[in-house]
Amino acid sequence: MESQQDFLFADGPTPELHLPDPRSNLYADVAALWQIPVGQLIRVDLTGHHFSELRGRLELARAPDLPLDRRKSLALRIGTIELTSRQITAWSLT
């Protein structure tokens, strides 16, 4: 059998084919359910944390249990600083 390139019918350079990032759907589902911008650059105001404000990319520190339950707290981080979704009092995109 010949290489797969023989079946690409596109003009120009060969497109790079990448597998979809499996985190993208999880991030979108978590962001929608908890109404926070996971995966985006933000500024957050916090309560009950030794930092009152943080800026950076909001990431999941640990994947939430499935099925997703908004009543449970999310383990989050910005850089190396860990926080929970319950500590966020306000956020804005930067």
- Could you read off the pLDDT of 51-73 as tens digits, one per residue? 889 999 999 999 999 899 999 99
In a domain, residue 82? The reply is: yes
In a domain, residue 64? The reply is: yes
In a domain, residue 28? The reply is: no
pLDDT one-digit tens code per residue, 6-35: 555 656 666 666 666 655 688 889 999 999
Domain that holds residue 72: 40-94
In a domain, residue 73? The reply is: yes
In a domain, residue 63? The reply is: yes
In a domain, residue 4? The reply is: no
Look at the chain and report how many structural domains it folds into: 1
Spatial distance between the Cα atoms of 63 and 41, rounded to a whole number of angstroms: 19
- Dihedral of CA atoms 59, 47, 53, 81 in degrees, nearest 10, equals -40
